């Protein structure tokens, strides 16, 4: 469809410029603000050492969200892979919320990045092309649960907050120590009659995930321990895949992997590597990407909520966890309202 093609090219373009701030990040053409951050991983960058990172740790899996990066998920490690697997190169990476709505506008006279013009209303949890988003709530509820609220930035603008709030709850999945469940919610409070116009049906990334470049062996989960390898040349543009069990994983050469299970997603997911040089550095420009995509109508007053799961381990461990999750949550549905709602 026109919408899908638009989203597809858009993701490609956005990720290359976001991801190609060294290079950016669920849908349009490539350009590049090449600004490679050279930052070696060190003990100081570990989630456990950063005062602005809240973390939960169940002894098997460690997960962190970062106040300085829109309260996005910026750290995931586990027993067999004790270093961080999340790419944090720029505000378009991370594991985060990303949504699209409305007409594509040329706002270059207002400072819009030429790399992302024209562009639709695109609030990003991490931030805009040159700035990180503002966090208004940042809490560790208990040993296994984190909550946050973020005022997102518009991706195409250097430093413009979106008229929206993003809420996120991150917690361990009961009885599955290798899995977390993340509840995401977008509450829009745009002005009626603003330049982006009325509600539009658009592809949404639910969520956008960026991992370190070494996790470049992709596979769709087919259920009952069976996997289907997926291949894609470095992008953007990203590859497209339809995982039948709504779960896609990326593995490193030693067989450790991370899977995304997003039961409310549609038939097309984005995936693939970016850059050719392998790297285990979360700050590196090269990365890998996975984004379940859902086609959802978002308007000026929409409230949209969904949840997804992240699972870590080897193929056998992922298979057991994904079978259990699919059996329990395959019928999950998103919650969508077009009426103004308080956060």
pLDDT tens for 272-285 read 999 999 999 999 99
Spatial CA neighbour of 210 closest among 163, 247, 266, 260: 260
Q: Is 205 inside any structural domain?
A: yes
Specify the pLDDT at position 31: 32
Q: Is 286 inside any structural domain?
A: yes
- Residue 171 vs residue 36, higher pLDDT: 171
- 6 — pLDDT class (breaks 50, 70, 90): very low
- Residue 41 vs residue 284, higher pLDDT: 284
pLDDT in tens, 215-235: 999 999 999 999 999 999 999
pLDDT in tens, 257-305: 999 999 999 999 999 999 999 999 999 999 999 999 999 999 999 999 9
Is 41's pLDDT higher than 60? no
Please name the residue that has the structure tokens 């970062």.
66
Q: Is 280 inside any structural domain?
A: yes
Q: SS3 for 9?
A: helix
- Spatial neighbors of 200 by CB under 8 A, at least 6 apart, are 101, 102, 103, 120, 297, 298, 299
Specify the pLDDT at position 39: 34
Q: Average pLDDT, stretch 6-24? A: 42
Q: Is 343 inside any structural domain?
A: no
Spatial CA neighbour of 294 closest among 46, 39, 3, 2: 3
> What is the domain range of residue 252?
2-337
pLDDT in tens, 124-162: 999 999 999 999 999 999 999 999 999 999 999 999 999
Q: Is 301 inside any structural domain?
A: yes
Is 337's pLDDT higher than 50? yes
Q: Is 299 inside any structural domain?
A: yes
Answer for the pair 185, 167: CB distance below 8 angstroms, yes or no. Answer: yes
Q: Is 143 inside any structural domain?
A: yes
The total of structural domains in the chain comes to 1
pTM for this entry: 0.88
Least confident of 28-32, 200-204, 245-249: 28-32
Answer for the pair 195, 92: CB distance below 8 angstroms, yes or no. Answer: no
pLDDT in tens, 50-66: 679 999 999 999 999 99
Specify the pLDDT at position 33: 29
Sign of the dihedral defined by the CA atoms of residues 230, 181, 208, 78, in that order: negative
Average pLDDT taken over every residue of the chain: 89
Q: Domain holding 305: CATH number? A: 2.70.98
Is 315's pLDDT higher than 70? yes
Q: Is 153 inside any structural domain?
A: yes
Sign of the dihedral defined by the CA atoms of residues 154, 159, 160, 164, in that order: positive
Joined together, the tokens standing for residue 236 give 């953007």
Q: Which uninterrupted H or E stretch holds 316?
A: helix 315-329
Specify the pLDDT at position 36: 29
């Amino acid at each position: 469809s026109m919408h899908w093609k638009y989203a597809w090219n858009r993701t490609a373009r956005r990720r290359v410029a976001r991801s190609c701030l060294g290079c950016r990040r669920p849908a349009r053409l490539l350009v590049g603000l090449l600004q490679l951050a050279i930052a070696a991983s060190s003990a100081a960058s570990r989630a456990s050492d950063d005062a602005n990172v809240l973390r939960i740790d169940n002894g098997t899996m460690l997960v962190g969200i970062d106040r300085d990066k829109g309260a996005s998920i910026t750290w995931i490690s586990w027993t067999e892979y004790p270093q961080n697997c999340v790419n944090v190169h720029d505000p378009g990476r991370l594991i985060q919320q990303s949504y699209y709505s409305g007409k594509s506008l040329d706002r270059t006279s207002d400072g819009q990045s030429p790399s992302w013009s024209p562009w639709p209303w695109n609030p990003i949890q991490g931030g805009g092309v040159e700035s990180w988003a503002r966090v208004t709530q940042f809490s560790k509820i208990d040993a296994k649960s984190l909550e946050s609220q973020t005022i997102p930035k518009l991706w195409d603008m250097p430093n413009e907050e979106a008229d929206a709030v993003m809420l996120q709850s991150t917690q361990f999945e009961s009885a599955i120590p290798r899995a977390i469940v993340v509840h995401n919610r977008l509450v829009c409070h745009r002005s009626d009659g603003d330049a982006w116009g009325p509600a539009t049906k658009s592809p949404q990334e639910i969520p956008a995930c960026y991992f370190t470049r070494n996790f470049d062996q992709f596979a769709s989960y087919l259920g009952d321990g069976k996997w289907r390898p997926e291949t894609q040349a470095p992008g953007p543009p990203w590859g497209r895949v339809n995982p039948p069990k709504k779960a896609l994983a990326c593995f490193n050469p030693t067989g450790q992997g991370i899977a995304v299970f997003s039961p409310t997603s549609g038939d097309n997911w984005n995936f693939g590597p970016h850059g050719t040089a392998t790297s285990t550095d979360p700050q590196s420009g090269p990365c890998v990407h996975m984004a379940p995509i859902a086609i959802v109508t978002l308007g000026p007053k929409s409230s949209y909520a969904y949840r997804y799961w992240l699972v870590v381990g080897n193929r056998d461990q992922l298979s057991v966890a994904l079978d259990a999750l699919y059996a329990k949550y395959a019928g999950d549905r998103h919650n969508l309202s077009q009426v103004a709602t308080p956060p």
